[in-house]
């Protein structure tokens, strides 16, 4: 990126993973900047902290400090040193600890503990493996084992969305709907609340497919795969199948992957609750 540089310094008494994630999330709102996240992990002494902060030069680059430090004295020192250097500082941990202290009535232990592997880690790994094994209609597992089933035409974004939903912990299968070919019978037997259709603007779909054809060495020219009139006809036929299944359809043309995933999850959860009462 050629935008103005912006350094985000992560100061932590452990690995700094938590602060780095927040820094990335915040930086996403400043897409015009060339953001560099710099970690300073395992800062457990005043001397080490002073050396880190003093090495920062706010006269050269725009910068900010994000800290997750549990020790009270070091936490206060981070704020003090940043104020002295004129560096904007965000203490990411203290507001959360203050809220928990208000909720529990107990003071935090102020002990450094790595967060480690979350309880959902292995569930997410299994869901990602499931998405890979059940991609593009190649069903290694019975469709009934999926939490979410995505259906749509070729190049409508099924695979990346499946993988991202897997990353979020949802076992996702995706099935391509091809003009002139009946969808698998298993699709009509699965719980309907699991199924979400995807569609795309025809012009955008044409562009995506043309890029795909070029990447494959123009192996699919002449079969109508990239012809706009055929794409309209294909979308009409696939739309009729989606209507037969009674599934909601999401237009992914202008949606970021995260937004599309959020909509899919919201739809499936709402329909599951309506269908099962739980």
- pLDDT tens readout for residues 97-144: 999 999 999 999 988 876 665 667 788 899 999 999 999 999 999 999
| Cα gap 258→56, rounded to integer Å | 34
Q: Please, what is the end-to-end C-alpha distance for the chain in angstroms?
A: 47
Q: Are 89 and 64 in contact (CB under 8 A)?
A: yes
> What's the pTM value of the predicted model, to 2 decimals?
0.66
262 to each of 100, 151, 232, how far by Cα in Å? 28, 17, 27
Residue carrying the six token digits 């309880």: 119
Per-residue DSSP letter, 256: -
| pLDDT tens digits along 186-199 | 999 999 999 999 99
Indicate if the pLDDT at residue 1 is higher than 70.
Answer: no
Residues of the chain by 3-state class (helix, strand, coil), percent to 5: 45, 15, 35
Domains in the chain, start-ordered, CATH in brackets?
5-104 (3.40.50.2300), 121-276 (3.40.50)
When the pLDDT of each residue in the chain is averaged and rounded to a whole number, the result is 91
Nearest to 79 by CA among 99, 65, 60: 65
81-111 burial code (b ≥16 CB/10 A, e <16): bbeebebebbbbbbeebeeeeeeeeeeeeee
With b meaning 16 or more CB within 10 Å and e meaning fewer, what string describes 50-61? eebbeebeeeee
d(CA 84, CA 78): 10
Strand, helix or coil for residue 242: helix
What tens digit of pLDDT does each residue of 222-270 get?
Answer: 567 889 999 999 999 999 999 999 999 999 999 999 999 999 999 999 9
Q: What is the pLDDT of residue 219?
A: 56
For the record, the structure tokens of 6 come out as 């912006």
């Amino acid at each position: 990126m050629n935008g103005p540089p912006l350094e985000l310094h992560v100061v932590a008494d452990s690995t700094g993973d938590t602060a780095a994630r927040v820094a990335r999330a915040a930086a996403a709102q400043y897409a015009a900047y060339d953001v560099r996240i710099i970690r300073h992990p395992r800062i457990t002494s005043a001397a080490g902290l002073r050396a880190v902060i003093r090495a920062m030069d706010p006269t050269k680059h725009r910068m900010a400090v994000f800290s997750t430090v549990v020790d009270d004295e070091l936490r206060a020192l981070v704020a003090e040193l940043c104020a002295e250097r004129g560096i904007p500082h965000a203490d990411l941990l203290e507001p959360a600890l203050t809220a928990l202290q208000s909720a529990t009535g107990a003071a935090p232990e102020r002990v450094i503990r790595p967060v480690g592997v979350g309880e959902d880690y292995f569930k997410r790994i299994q869901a990602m493996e499931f998405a890979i094994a059940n991609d593009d209609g190649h069903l290694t597992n019975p469709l009934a084992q999926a939490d979410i089933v995505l259906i749509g035409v070729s190049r409508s974004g099924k695979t990346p969305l499946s993988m991202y939903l897997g990353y979020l912990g949802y076992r996702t299968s995706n099935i391509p709907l091809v003009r002139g070919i009946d969808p698998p019978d298993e699709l009509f037997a699965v719980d309907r609340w699991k199924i979400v259709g995807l569609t795309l603007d025809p012009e955008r779909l044409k562009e995506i497919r043309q890029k795909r054809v070029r990447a494959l060495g123009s192996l699919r020219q002449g079969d109508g795969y990239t012809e706009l009139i055929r794409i309209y006809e294909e979308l009409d036929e696939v739309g009729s199948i989606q209507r037969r299944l009674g599934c909601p359809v999401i237009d992914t043309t202008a949606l970021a992957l995260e937004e599309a995933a959020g909509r899919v999850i919201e739809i499936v959860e709402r329909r599951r609750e309506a269908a099962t009462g739980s």
